[in-house]
Structure 1
Amino acid sequence: MNKHSSSEALLTWYDRNARDLPWRVSPGDRKLGVVPDPYEVWLSEIMLQQTTVAAVKDYFVKFKTRWPTVADLAAADEADVMKAWAGLGYYSRARNLKNCAETVAEIHDGRFPNTEKELLALPGIGPYTAAAISTIAFDSHAAVVDGNVERVLSRRFQIEDPLPDSKTEIRAAMHNLTPLDRPGDFAQAVMDLGATICTPKRPACGLCPWLEECTARKSGLHETLPRKAPKKQKPTRYGAAFVARRETDGAVLLRRRPPKGLLGGMSEVPGTEWHEDFDAASAVQSAPLASSWRQRSGEVKHTFTHFHLKLTIYQALIPASHPIPDGCWWSKPSELEDEALPTVMRKAVEWARG
C-alpha cells in the first residue's frame, strides 16, 4: 500500500470512529465547512500536555464557559485563572496560558497566528503545540507527534531505537505520511488510533486500518514498542506543612507561593522548604505562628516530575484574635474548594482533617 492509500485508509477509519471531544470539530462537520476555533485547539493542547483526555474534559468546558474567547482569558485576573486550573497539575502551564492569551490579544489582535514559526514565538508553545495548532486549526501541513503518535509509528515502521533517540525518525515518518489534503484530520486520526486501538498493552490489532502494513506486528514486536531509555531514579525530598485552623469557624491559614518556580503563584498552607536532607527535629521552628503544634502520624506523599515528596503534617487551632503573618489569609471551609490549591496541598489539608 502506497503513502496515499495508507493515509486514505486511516482517514476512512477516522471518519467512522473519531472520538467525540468537546474541543474537536468532527470530520463530518469539517466536510460541511465548520472550521475549528484556534482558541479551543490551543486551550485543549495546553491542558493535554502530560495529562489525560479524561482529566482535561471538565477543565476545558469550565474554562471555555468562563472565558469564551482568548480576549476574555487575557482580561481575566491571574489569581482566578490559577484557581480554575487547580488540580490539573503542571502549574507553569496556567501561567503560560495567561501570558499567551495576553500576547495574542495585544500583539495579534485576538487572533492566533497560523504558522508554526509565529506560534513558536508565543509563551508556553513548543514545537509539538505549534505543529498541532497550525495543523488542526488551520490545516497546515506539519508533523504532529505526541505520545500516541510515537507509539503508532514506532510499531507501524518497527522503529526499535529507544525514545527519545527515535523522535527524529518518528517525526520524519509522520511528516512523510501526513497528506496535503485534510492534514488536521489525519493528525487527530493517528492520535485516536493510538488512544483506542494501538494501545500500550494488548492493542486491538484486528480492528486496525493499518493491520497489513504494521511491520512490528508482522515480526511479533508490536507490544514491545516503543522502547524507552531507562529512567533515572527520582530522588525523595522531605518537608513539613503547617495546617492552622481558626477556632471560630475552622478556616485554614493559606499563603501564596512565589510567582516563579515549582507551583508558582499557587496557594499553599505554610511550610518548610523541601530538601533531601530535611531536618525534621527542627521543623516546628519554621511554623508560621507560635502555637501548640501537634504532629499527625504518617506522611503525605506526592510525586512531581523530577522528585518524590514526603510531607510531615502539623496542625494547630488558632484563636481568631491571633495576628497572622503578612501575605497570609484565612480561607473558610466553604471557600477552600475555590482556592488555587495544588493537589499536594489539598492532600495536606485533608490529612490534618483526618
Structure 2
Amino acid sequence: MTDRHADLQAEIHATVDELVASGREAGVQIAAYLHGHPIVEVHAGVADTTTGRPMTAATPVYGVSTGKGLTATVVHVLAERGHLDYDLRIADVWPEFARHGKGHITLRHALTHTAGIPALPADVTLDDFADWDHMCAIVADARPLWTPGRQLAYHAWTFGWIVGEVIRRVTGRRVGDILTDDVAAPLGVTGELFCGVHPSTRPGPARMEDGNLSAMLETFAGQLPHLDRVAPPGVRPDATLAARPDVIAVDVPAVGTLTARAAARMYAALLGPVDGVRLISPHRLRAVSRPAVRGTEWVFGRETTWGLGYAVDDDGSFGVAGSGGSLAFAYPRWGLTVAATRNRLAVGDGDPLEHLRARIRDTVAAAAD
C-alpha cells in the first residue's frame, strides 16, 4: 500500500468511526481494490445492536439489490465458459415461460430490465418467496406489460427468478451454488457472497434494523404509481423484511448478502486478475459494462442506464446499489472497485456510503489523471 493509499485508508477509517460514534450508523464496512490489490478495508460498529456483536470484515450484510450484481456476475462467468448466450430466448430452455406472448424475451432483455414483466401479484407474500417453483410459475404465467425491449423498467424482484431459472434450466445448478463454488471459492471469499444465507452459517449475518427506509418506502409508494406493482406491500425491500433470518435464508437472486471486501474483490476480478483469478475476459468486460439501454425508467421515473445486469453511471462505473445504502461498483478506467455495506437501512439521509465511494473514486482519479 502506497503512502497515498495509507492516507486514504486513514481518512475513510476516521469518517466511518465518526459515523458510528455519532449514532448515525450501527455497523459499516467499506472496501476498495485498485488493479487487483486492496487499498481500503474498513469496518466499524456493531453487527447486532441487541447483543453488541461487533461488525467485522467477515460479517455478511444483507445488501438487498446490490445482490443483483452477484447474479449478473454468475451469468457472465457462465457465458465466458460457453454455457450461456445473452441472446438466448428464455422459452427455449424454459418452455412454460412462453405463455402470453413471452416467447421472444431473451436473457439480454432480463439483464437490461427491458423484459416487460416487472410486476408481481398484489397479494404475494414472503412465504411465497420461500417456494422457488411457485415463484417461477408466477413469473412464467405473467402477461408482459409491453413488447420486450420497448421500455426500461426495474424488475426489482422478478429479475432474480427470470435469470435464476434460466441458469438452473441450463446448468442444473442454483445461482447461489454457482456463486459459492465458481466465484467466491476461487477468490478466497467463501462465506462472504450469498443469494441465501443458511442459518448455520458462521459468522452469522448482521442484524438489520430500520433507519427510515420503511417509512420512506411507504411515502414513495404514495408518490410512485408503479412501485407497489413491482414490490407489493407484503414484499417491500425494507428493514422489516431484511431483519427476518428466514427471509435472508431464501435463495432470491434479485437480492444478496455480502461483505464489502468480498464484493470489491469480485468486481476487481471482473476488471483483471486478483491473485491470479480473472472471472471474465477483457472483451467480455467491455461488452457487459458499456451502456446497453438508456431511458426514463418506469418505476421511479428517472433517466437510467443499464449494461448487462449492472447499472452504468455517468462517471463510467458499473455495478448495483441496494435499498438502504449498500453498493458495489467498478471503474474500468482506473482499475478501481468500491463496495460498502451498512446494517441500519436509510434513504435520503445524505447517503454517507455514497459520499465515501465518491471520495475514494476522486482520490484515485486525481492520482491517475
Per the normalisation by structure 2, the TM-score is 0.24
Higher helix share: 1
Per the normalisation by structure 1, the TM-score is 0.25
Q: Which has the higher contact order (CA 8 A, sep 6+)?
A: 2
